[in-house]
Structure formats: structure tokens, C-alpha cells
Amino acid sequence: MVTTTVVHMMLYSQYYFQYGQHGTSISDLANFLFKPNKTLGSSFIKCVDCNNETNIMNSEMSYVIHCPYTFIGTTSKYFSEVLLHQQLHRCTLCNGGTNKITKFHNSPPVLILAMNNNTKLEISKNMSLLISTEITNYELKG
Ligand SMILES: [Zn+2]
């Protein structure tokens, strides 16, 4: 639990918030408050034809997901694309197409979307994400 005192201390930290509580980016504040203290997931490249998996690595996934202002679609679609997106390079075994897949190790208790003034983003009230082997449903709050 974050107390008001801790938030004030963070806001007056010259390192993180050089302008104090005025002019502080909500996105920066959310990043700071919801910074994970452990690796939340892993990523790998998977061939769509032969299912070969390569380049398995820890993901830098956070509870705060930044959506670029150029994205067109729903927030649900954006989360799906963050977790699975097509790659340009081909499979080294069969020359098939590949996707980069990111998986959370466990269902995050919260996911925050930073929208960056994107006027072409449609807000989804609900979304479902496949996490590990289970589908987790999320409802929009706030
Ligand atoms: Zn392949």
C-alpha cells in the first residue's frame, strides 16, 4: 500500500520528478508506483508453421503499458498486439513466418494503459487475455 507521504516523497524527488507535483506526468507517476520488483513474464519468437521457439528471454513487461498515439483500434486489441505481434524475420528451420509472443507468468492484478492523447483509440470496457494457460478477464476501472 502506498501512503500519501510516500507519494509526496516521490513527487519531491529531484531525480524522478524534477518539477515536483506541478507538471508531473501521470504516466511517469504510474510507472513509478507500479514498477514491478520482479520479472512479470517472458518473450520468445515462435514459428507459425513448425512451432519452433527461439530467443526465449525475460520480458521487460510492466503493469503500465504505453500505447502510441498512432495506434488505431481498441484498447483490447492493443493489449493483444503487445502480447503477440508478427515479426519480419523468418524461421531459421522452415522459413515460415514468425510471431513474437510475450506471456505473463501470472495474471497481473492490474494493468494500466497510458494512452498518450491517442484520439483514434477506442476504449474497451472488458478484455480477455490468455495468461499462461488460462484466460483472465479484465474490466475497465477508473
Ligand atoms: Zn518454422
Ligand 1 centroid to 53 CA: how many Å?
Answer: 9
Task: Say if CB 126 and CB 138 are below 8 A apart.
Answer: yes
DSSP characters over 61-125: --SEEEPPTT--EEHHHHHHHHHEEEESSPPTTT---EEEEEEESS--S--EEE-TT-TTEEPPS
Q: How far is the CA of 99 from the centre of ligand 1 (A)?
A: 11
- DSSP bridge pairs for 100: 45, 85
For residue 49, pLDDT over 90 is answered with: yes
Residue 9, classed as helix, strand or coil, is helix
Pull the grid cell for residue 64: 503500465
Ligand 1 mean position to 90 CA, how many Å?
A: 8
Full-model pTM: 0.74
**Residue 70 C-alpha to ligand 1 middle, in angstroms?**
31
Quote the ligand 1 centre to 86 CA distance (angstroms).
14
Quote the cell numbers at residue 4.
500519501
Mean pLDDT for the chain overall? 83
pLDDT for the residue numbered 1: 46
Distance 55 CA to ligand 1 centre (A): 13
**74-129 residue pLDDT tens:** 999 999 898 899 999 999 999 999 999 998 888 888 888 888 787 888 999 999 88
Residue ranges of domains in the chain: 1-33, 37-139
